Chains A and B, each alone.
Chain A
Amino acid sequence: GQQVMQIPQYQHVQEGEDFTTYCNSSTTLSNIQWYKQRPGGHPVFLIQLVKSGEVKKQKRLTFQFGEAKKNSSLHITATQTTDVGTYFCAGHPPKGPFNNDMRFGAGTRLTVKP
């Protein structure tokens, strides 16, 4: 079945440093979604990428979808303490078997030292 691998598992940065998390799928995806879970909270949807090679920005966050639609990345420029949390990617397979739905990566837990 579809698998979504995400690295690194943990990342600790000094405030102001950049941060990147990577997501790789064993199969081609129709789209990929990114979620953020604050400590003690639940995952909250950030963005979705659909097109091959797509790049989207949200302030200091840059999301990319690979040309082959099998990998994606989230890059945060100049991290702030408010960026602390776990970032998940979730890959949606192409339309196919009725019961094949989105799968989440294991997440990257980001901590930021002030």
Chain B
Amino acid sequence: DVKVTQSSRYLVKRTGEKVFLECVQDMDHENMFWYRQDPGLGLRLIYFSYDVKMKEKGDIPEGYSVSREKKERFSLILESASTNQTSMYLCASRLSRFLSNQPQHFGDGTRLSIL
């Protein structure tokens, strides 16, 4: 079974802080994704990565950056946290975009509150 682990289940930070959300997968998946989930808005794609050192912007990248230095780890960075970034953050991984019909496997999420 694929295991996607997010470093924190709950996190409280202050406005202006630099925040790091970590995600690790244990199945040698090539692709990794960061979403935020807000009521009524579903899962919105922030950034994704097809391989190490690669990153692509999703639909709402503003205020975020990512890092993928190792294949198993994909970090989401809030450069200067703001209250509108309070949300549930979900990380997901997928085997490869070149293998059609692959599902995404999600972590348990990090509920981030910015005060």
Contact = CB atoms under 8 A, between A and B. Distances in A.
A43 B106 contact: yes
A9 B40 contact: yes
A103 B48 contact: no
Interface string B69-103: 00000000000000000000010100001001101
Contact of B40 (A31, A43, A106): A106
Interface residues of A, number: 24
A78 interface: no
Among B43, B48, B90, B108, residue most surrounded by chain A Cβ atoms (within 10 Å): B43
Contacts, number: 52
B42 A6 contact: yes
B105 interface: yes
Interface in A71-110: 88, 90, 98-99, 101-107
- The dominant DSSP class at the B interface is strand
B103 A45 contact: yes
Given A42-B109, A43-B90, A88-B42, A102 B59 contact: no
Given A42-B108, A101-B48, A101-B97, A48 B103 contact: yes
B105 A45 contact: yes
A33 B97 contact: no
Interface of B: 33, 35, 40-45, 48, 56-57, 59, 90, 92, 97, 100-101, 103-109
Given A30-B100, A42-B108, A42-B109, 20 more contacts: A6-B42, A9-B40, A33-B104, A42-B90, A42-B106, A44-B106, A45-B105, A48-B101, A50-B100, A88-B42, A90-B104, A101-B97, A102-B104, A103-B45, A104-B42, A104-B43, A104-B44, A106-B41, A106-B42, A107-B43
